[in-house]
Structure 1
Amino acid sequence: MTGERRTPEGLRYGWTTGACATAATTAAYTALLTGEFPDPVGITLPKGQTPAFALAVESLDAESAMAGVVKDAGDDPDVTHGALIRATVRHGEPGTGVAFRAGPGVGTVTKAGLPLAVGEPAINPVPRQLIREHVAAVAASHNGTGDVIVEISVDNGEELARKTWNPRLGILGGLSILGTTGVVVPYSCSAWIDSIRRGIDVARAAGYRHVAGCTGSTSEKTVTALYGLPEDALLDMGDFAGAVLKYLRRHPVPRLTIAGGFGKLSKLADGHLDLHSGRSQVDLRKLADTALAAGGDADLAERIAEGNTALEALRLAEAADVPLGDAVAERARQAAVEVLRGAEIAVDVVVIDRAGTIVGRAH
Structure 2
Amino acid sequence: MIDPVTGFTIPDEWVSRVQSRDELELVSTGRGVLTASGAVLRRGITTGATAAAAAKAAVLSLRKPVLEVDILLPCGIRVVVPATGEDGRGSAVKDSGDYPEDRTAGLLFRADAVEDTEIILHAGEGIGRFVRDTPRYTEGEPAISPPARDCILTAITEALEAIKFSGVSVTISVIGGRDAGADTLNPRVGVIGGISLLGTTGFVEPWDDHLESSMEERVRSANRVVITTGRIGLRISRLLFPEYEVVLAGSKIGQAIKASSCETILCGLPGLILKFINPDILEGTGYQTVEEYVATEEGQNRMREMLNDATPTGIRIVIVNRDGEVIGDSR
TM-score range for the pair, normalised by the shorter chain length: 0.5 to 0.7
Contact 1:161 1:175 in 2 (8 A): yes
Moved more, 13-22 or 334-343: 334-343
Determine the structure 2 residue equivalent to 1:272: none
Determine the structure 2 residue equivalent to 1:70: 93
- What displacement does 1:128 show? 1.7
Residue 159 of structure 1 pairs with residue 179 of structure 2: yes
Residue 142 of structure 1 pairs with residue 163 of structure 2: yes
Look up the SS of the partner of 2:275 in the other structure: strand
What do the CA deviations read for 1:325-359 (whole angstroms, capped 9, x no partner)?
A: xxxxxx9924299525897799xxxxxxxxxxxxx
Determine the structure 2 residue equivalent to 1:228: 284
Determine the structure 2 residue equivalent to 1:53: 81
Structure whose residues are more often strand by fraction? 2
Contact 2:303 2:328 in 1 (8 A): no
Moved more, 19-28 or 77-86: 77-86
Residue 20 of structure 1 pairs with residue 40 of structure 2: no
Work out the CA distance in 2 between the residues paired with 1:54 and 1:233. 35
Residue 213 of structure 1 pairs with residue 260 of structure 2: no
Residue 91 of structure 1 pairs with residue 69 of structure 2: no
5 Å-filtered alignment, 1:347-362, equals none
Residue 333 of structure 1 pairs with residue 310 of structure 2: yes
Gaps of 5+ in 1: 201-211, 236-243, 259-330, 347-363
Residue 7 of structure 1 pairs with residue 27 of structure 2: no
Determine the structure 1 residue equivalent to 2:3: none
- What displacement does 1:168 show? 2.2
Work out the CA distance in 2 between the residues paired with 1:338 and 1:167. 33
Contact 1:18 1:177 in 2 (8 A): yes
Provide the alpha-carbon RMSD of the alignment: 4.3
- What displacement does 1:191 show? 8.8
Work out the CA distance in 2 between the residues paired with 1:120 and 1:198. 23
Determine the structure 2 residue equivalent to 1:307: none
Work out the CA distance in 1 between the residues paired with 2:110 and 2:277. 34
Larger Rg: 1
What do the CA deviations read for 1:276-328 (whole angstroms, capped 9, x no partner)?
A: xxxxxxxxxxxxxxxxxxxxxxxxxxxxxxxxxxxxxxxxxxxxxxxxxxxxx
Look up the SS of the partner of 2:91 in the other structure: strand
Contact 1:22 1:134 in 2 (8 A): yes
Residue 253 of structure 1 pairs with residue 300 of structure 2: yes
Determine the structure 1 residue equivalent to 2:153: 132
Contact 1:102 1:153 in 2 (8 A): yes
- What displacement does 1:102 show? 1.7
Contact 2:48 2:202 in 1 (8 A): yes
Determine the structure 2 residue equivalent to 1:80: 104
Gaps of 5+ in 2: 1-24, 212-228, 235-249, 252-267, 320-325
- In structure 2, relative to structure 1, the CA distance for the partners of 1:66 and 1:343 (3 Å cut) is closer
- What displacement does 1:47 show? 3.8
Determine the structure 1 residue equivalent to 2:244: none
Determine the structure 1 residue equivalent to 2:8: none
Look up the SS of the partner of 1:54 in the other structure: strand
Contact 1:169 1:199 in 2 (8 A): no
Contact 1:169 1:198 in 2 (8 A): no
Contact 1:166 1:175 in 2 (8 A): yes
Residue 118 of structure 1 pairs with residue 139 of structure 2: yes
- What displacement does 1:126 show? 1.6
Work out the CA distance in 2 between the residues paired with 1:334 and 1:215. 8
Amino acid at match of 1:128: R
Moved more, 116-125 or 336-345: 336-345
Amino acid at match of 1:23: A
Percent identical across equivalent pairs?
28
Determine the structure 1 residue equivalent to 2:221: none
- What displacement does 1:41 show? 1.6
- What displacement does 1:22 show? 0.9
How many residue pairs get aligned? The number is 235
Amino acid at match of 1:213: K
- What displacement does 1:106 show? 0.3
Structure whose residues are more often helix by fraction? 1
Work out the CA distance in 1 between the residues paired with 2:125 and 2:270. 24
- What displacement does 1:80 show? 1.4
Contact 1:115 1:125 in 2 (8 A): no
Residue 176 of structure 1 pairs with residue 196 of structure 2: yes
Work out the CA distance in 2 between the residues paired with 1:54 and 1:191. 25
What do the CA deviations read for 1:233-272 (whole angstroms, capped 9, x no partner)?
A: 568xxxxxxxx9xx99xx96222599xxxxxxxxxxxxxx
What do the CA deviations read for 1:213-246 (whole angstroms, capped 9, x no partner)?
A: 3799xx76xx88xx533251568xxxxxxxx9xx
- What displacement does 1:7 show? 1.2
